[in-house]
């Protein structure tokens, strides 16, 4: 039995699309019926008239990774685990919730893997769990460091990785991958995919930072490779092309037939707007708009070295233009 936690998320849902093509027993956790329905629609995008046939291969279990009783039900008979469940938020008000879900939730998954003698765990971490090299490429050896501009999400993912390393010390076979910004078909109101919704309306301003983009299908391919390989007790950066936010927004503008951004957004002004937006969201109890932590990230220039994962897996990462086209086509 293969278990996928967070089966309705961007990575989890695409992983299920691939696993259902194999002759495997698959179980997936979910939190709400709405998200499960979105996953069914993703199956319709990929498989059309055969969507229900593949979707019905999944044993869905409603579970909370912070609830031990629900995890006991989830782990019965499980041999392999893909831990994709996580909370992604750059709102300061969500810090403790993010830390609880990502650190304690991962600790619970690790403990269940040990208790149920799971053969292998593949954990979807993040580049946020690494530091970044200001003078060159960031790789797996770049150490995470605390600081004023480190997001709460980064702290939570770094802490979650420590739980996996702890499990490894206790005898668990595990591999971690660290994706960058993941894009692909899905709900444009969720996480990193909200960039499509914003770009479809046109953007005039751009920040001066840079990051890397990875296609969700590439993340899934790497997860499957590591689960089915003898490699264990290591982590790998899973990043595609490095790109500036200006060039990314320009690529998106071309996709939506909009005018490319042409006004550089000053960092100080952006931080002021972010602070104002976060205060308003705090009073209105919303989780939308620019935040202080996302503003800091928008002005960091980070480039990643993906040579290790390429050399290990032989995988070729999808070009950004193809990723964007595919994601826009698969809007849910």
CATH number of the domain that 110 lies in? 3.40.50.720
- Dist. CA 153–CA 94, nearest whole Å: 9
Q: Flag whether 278 is in a domain.
A: no
Q: Flag whether 76 is in a domain.
A: yes
- Dist. CA 19–CA 76, nearest whole Å: 19
The SS3 call for residue 179 is strand
- Parts of the chain with a pLDDT under 70: none
Quick one: tokens of 210?
């840079």
Number of structural domains in the chain: 1
Q: How far, CA to CA in Å, does 220 sit from each of 101, 233, 249, 257, 276?
A: 22, 19, 25, 30, 38
Q: Flag whether 296 is in a domain.
A: no
Q: Flag whether 32 is in a domain.
A: yes
HSE at residue 195, side-chain half, CA atoms within 13 A, is: 22
Q: Flag whether 283 is in a domain.
A: no
Please state, as a whole number, how many other Cβ atoms lie within 10 Å of the Cβ of residue 201.
Answer: 8
- Dist. CA 248–CA 206, nearest whole Å: 10
State pLDDT tens for residues 15-68.
999 999 998 899 999 999 999 999 999 999 999 999 999 999 999 999 999 999
Q: Given this model, what pLDDT does residue 134 score? A: 87
Which structural domain, as residue segments, surrounds residue 59?
2-186+212-241+303-324
- Dist. CA 115–CA 117, nearest whole Å: 6
- DSSP states of 233-280: SEEEEE--EEEEHHHHHHHHHHHTT-PPP-EEPPHHHHHHHHHHHHHH
Sign of CA dihedral 125, 231, 17, 221: positive
Q: Given this model, what pLDDT does residue 160 score? A: 98
Q: Given this model, what pLDDT does residue 146 score? A: 93
Residues 6+ apart with CB under 8 A from 288: 281
**Against a cut of 0.85, is the pTM above it?**
yes
What angle, 0 to 180 degrees and rounded to 10, lies between the N-to-C axes of helices 10-19 and 33-47? 50
Q: Flag whether 45 is in a domain.
A: yes
Q: Given this model, what pLDDT does residue 278 score? A: 85
Quick one: tokens of 285?
């109890």
Q: Flag whether 155 is in a domain.
A: yes
Q: Given this model, what pLDDT does residue 162 score? A: 98
In terms of Cα–Cα distance, which of 113, 19, 131 is closest to 71? 113
Q: Given this model, what pLDDT does residue 279 score? A: 84
- Dist. CA 66–CA 248, nearest whole Å: 36
Please name every residue paired with 61 in a beta bridge, in sequence order, or none if there are none: 29
């Amino acid at each position: 039995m293969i278990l996928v936690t967070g089966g309705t998320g961007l990575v989890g849902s695409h992983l299920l699309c691939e696993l259902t093509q194999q002759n495997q027993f698959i179980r997936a956790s979910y939190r709400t019926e709405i998200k499960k329905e979105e996953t069914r629609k993703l199956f319709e995008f990929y498989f059309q008239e055969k969507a229900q046939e593949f979707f019905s291969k999944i044993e869905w279990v409603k579970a909370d990774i912070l609830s031990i009783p629900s995890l006991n039900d989830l782990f019965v008979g499980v041999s392999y685990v893909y831990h994709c469940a996580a909370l992604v938020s750059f709102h300061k008000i969500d810090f403790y919730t993010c830390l609880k879900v990502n650190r304690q939730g991962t600790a619970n998954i690790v403990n269940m893997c040990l208790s149920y003698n799971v053969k292998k765990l593949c954990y979807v971490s993040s580049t946020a769990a690494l530091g970044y090299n200001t003078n060159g490429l960031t790789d797996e050896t770049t150490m995470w460091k605390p600081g004023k501009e480190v997001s709460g999400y980064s702290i939570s993912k770094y802490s979650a990785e420590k739980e996996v390393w702890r499990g490894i010390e206790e005898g668990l076979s595990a591999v971690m991958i660290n994706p960058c910004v993941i894009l692909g078909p899905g709900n444009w109101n969720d996480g990193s995919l909200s960039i499509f919704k914003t770009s479809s309306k046109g953007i005039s301003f751009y920040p001066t930072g840079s990051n890397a983009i990875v296609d969700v299908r590439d993340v899934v391919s790497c997860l499957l490779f590591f689960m089915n390989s003898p490699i264990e007790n290591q982590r790998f950066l899973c990043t595609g092309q490095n790109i500036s936010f200006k060039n990314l927004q320009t690529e998106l503008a071309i996709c939506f037939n909009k005018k490319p951004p042409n006004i550089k957004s000053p960092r100080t002004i952006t931080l002021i707007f972010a602070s104002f937006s976060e205060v308003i969201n705090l009073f209105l109890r919303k989780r939308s708009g620019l935040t202080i932590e996302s503003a800091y990230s928008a002005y960091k220039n980070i480039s990643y070295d993906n040579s290790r994962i390429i050399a290990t897996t032989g995988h070729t990462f999808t070009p950004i233009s193809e990723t964007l086209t595919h994601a826009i086509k698969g809007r849910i």
